[in-house]
Amino acid sequence: MGDFNGDGKRDLANTNYNSNSVSVLIGNGDGTFKPAVFL
């Protein structure tokens, strides 16, 4: 967890073992997240 986009809200980064990717979920500030972006 961290503030990856600088908006002051907690964001989440997750590694995806089976797909060899990383997903980032941008926090809405109310405990929910926007849909994942896969990198």
> Which CA distances in Å does 10 have to 7, 16, 27, 34, 37?
9, 20, 5, 11, 15
Please report which helix (H) or strand (E) contains residue 15, including its range.
strand 12-16
Prediction pTM value = 0.81
For residue 15, what pLDDT is reported?
96
Tens digits of per-residue pLDDT, 9-27? 999 999 999 999 999 999 9
Cβ atoms within 10 Å, residue 33: 15
Range of the domain at 1: 1-39
Q: How many domains does the chain have?
A: 1
Render 20-32 in DSSP notation, one character per residue.
TEEEEE-B-SSS-
